[in-house]
Structure 1
Amino acid sequence: MPEPFSLSVIVPVWMEAASVADTLRALQPIRARGHEVIVVDAGSSDRTAELARPLCDRLVVSGKGRAVQMNAGAAVAKGDVFLFLHADTRLPDNALDHLVEFARSHRAWGRFNVRLSGQRPTFRVIAWFMNQRSRLTGICTGDQAMFVRRDAFEALAGFHPMPLMEDVEFSRRLCLVSRPFCIKEPVVTDSRRWEEHGAWRTIFLMWRLRWRYWRGESPESLAQIYRSDVRNASK
């Protein structure tokens, strides 16, 4: 039977040659059911675009920045629903079944719960807090595979072109339209950056950045803090 909606999965990538093929192979069952996968590359100099092209319906090249890339993907998307997926995140096998339920609901947007891929107990605690925060506030982050109806996305003019917090900012505006449709089945996000930079260090950094964002600091200054902290953690 035909799906009651059409889905566009939009995947922003940059320098993802090591993992982009695996990410896109996991999306082939969605393509097989008639939905589209759009990859938006920010001008990678590795083999990201070459590896992605045969595994997606459309490859778009845009400027850098997830907000810019996701808007570029949405501009060419054909679906009734847009799903924004990070390159290091995997959807559950039954994601489409849950999205059918969303399509039949009256909600404008939604997100998945999240689970980190690592086996350390700390990662389970982190994911629990992330999911609880979203449940209480309605705010979600890109790791949770945000999805939104085309008409709501277009009415709100998509993501603001900002270097950080674009997902939080868009969530705040979407919450004015409706509460999110929450899918408890988790997406799985690669825990590599948490392991490389330190789990607790990463937690404190992200909470510090969000706190300063809520207090009115510019995304540009927060992006500088984030890049500086990542560089220091890598030394």
Structure 2
Amino acid sequence: MLGLGRLAVQLVCARVHLRRVRRRRERPGEILAPVSVIVPAYNEAANIAATVRSLVDSRYPRLEVIVVDDGSSDGTADIVAALGLRGVRVIRQANAGKPAALNTGARHARGDLLVLVDGDTVFQPDTVHHLVQGFADPAVGAISGNTKVANRRRLLGRWQHLEYVIGFNLDRRMYDVLGCMPTIPGAIGAFRREVFAAVGGVPTGTLAEDTDLTMAVLRAGWEVVYEERAIAWTEAPASLRQLWRQRYRWCYRNAGQCSGLQVGGEGPRWEGR
């Protein structure tokens, strides 16, 4: 009964969100401010070339791509450098964790808007443009995109695709309507540069850096909205072992977030896939 009640609330909020989005799109003006896309990467040799190419192929006119190699041992940075793509910079650093890599990229960024992307995520040509249009509202400080599962040919991938559509997409519509967006996903999110700096960047001493960053933006008085047209295709776990490790990590970090657990030192390290 609780599950059905939750679904009913989600569907009602989805209709309200649709009307709200239509009103947003009727606002005059188009956002074309410079955008810096930051890609933290640790041992992403299998995916990084596709990710960077998809970003360079974006139809957004003022775009730079910053790939921060966080001490990879598989030649990730060399692969990006060998592509020789215009507007792409590679920054190498000793392994310090994903939050530190994102903060490094932000310090080197030139754009007024920051887009954070995972190293195994592929954008559509219109994703960046759709993602940043919400900043036409001066009250919006950050925007969540729409994450979809790319590897859904097998049963496990299809199940996760349904989970993403129902559990993430509908949830974010509901959160947008209620004004309580808890998390901008690491796979696709956009921030005003001044807001990102004002909240101290990505927290490095937490198990849930994406949730903590989003909450910090909300506490600072900014709105966080959801843009369903900004689609990012990401690789979901392809085996039960990978799925178990991912969900264990999610449950552990969420429990730590609720209890106020903090991690000392440089923050959590990357976990191999």
Q: Distance in 1 between matches of 2:196 and 2:212?
A: 13
Structure 1 residue corresponding to 2:234, chosen from 178, 186, 189:
189
Percent of matched pairs sharing the same residue: 23
- Which residue is equivalent to 2:247? 203
- Which residue is equivalent to 1:217? 261
Which amino acid counterpart does residue 124 of structure 1 have in structure 2?
H
- Which residue is equivalent to 1:93? 125
When residues 153 and 130 of structure 1 are mapped into structure 2, their CA distance, relative to the original with a 3 A threshold, is same
Is 1:112 the counterpart of 2:152? The answer is no
- Which residue is equivalent to 1:62? 93
Which amino acid counterpart does residue 28 of structure 1 have in structure 2?
V
Question: After superposition, where does 1:13-32 map in structure 2 within 5 Å?
Answer: 13-30=41-58
Q: Distance in 1 between matches of 2:169 and 2:74?
A: 34
- Which residue is equivalent to 1:126? 163
Contact 2:67/2:89 (CA < 8 Å) preserved in 1? yes
Structure 2 residue corresponding to 1:103, chosen from 128, 131, 135:
135
Q: Once the 2 structures are TM-superposed, how far is the Cα of residue 197 of structure 1 from its aligned partner?
A: 2.5
Is 1:174 the counterpart of 2:217? The answer is yes
SS of the residue corresponding to residue 9 of structure 1 reads strand
Which amino acid counterpart does residue 81 of structure 1 have in structure 2?
L
Question: After superposition, where does 1:72-87 map in structure 2 within 5 Å?
Answer: 72-87=104-119
Ranges in structure 2 where 5+ consecutive residues have no aligned partner: 1-29
SS of the residue corresponding to residue 162 of structure 2 reads helix
Q: Alpha-carbon deviations, 1:117-145, whole Å to 9, x = none?
A: 23233112321212344443402244441
Q: Distance in 2 between matches of 1:26 and 1:3?
A: 21
Q: Once the 2 structures are TM-superposed, how far is the Cα of residue 146 of structure 1 from its aligned partner?
A: 1.4
Q: Distance in 2 between matches of 1:219 and 1:126?
A: 29
When residues 214 and 57 of structure 1 are mapped into structure 2, their CA distance, relative to the original with a 3 A threshold, is same
- Which residue is equivalent to 2:15? none
Ranges in structure 1 where 5+ consecutive residues have no aligned partner: none
Q: Once the 2 structures are TM-superposed, how far is the Cα of residue 181 of structure 1 from its aligned partner?
A: 2.4
Question: After superposition, where does 1:23-62 map in structure 2 within 5 Å?
Answer: 23-30=51-58, 33-53=61-81, 54-55=84-85, 57-62=88-93
Q: Distance in 2 between matches of 1:220 and 1:118?
A: 35
Q: Distance in 2 between matches of 1:58 and 1:201?
A: 32
- Which residue is equivalent to 2:35? 7
- Which residue is equivalent to 1:149? 192
Q: Once the 2 structures are TM-superposed, how far is the Cα of residue 42 of structure 1 from its aligned partner?
A: 1.0
- What TM-score does the superposition give when structure 1 sets the normalisation length? 0.83
Task: Give the aligned CA root-mean-square deviation in angstroms.
Answer: 2.8
Larger radius of gyration: 2
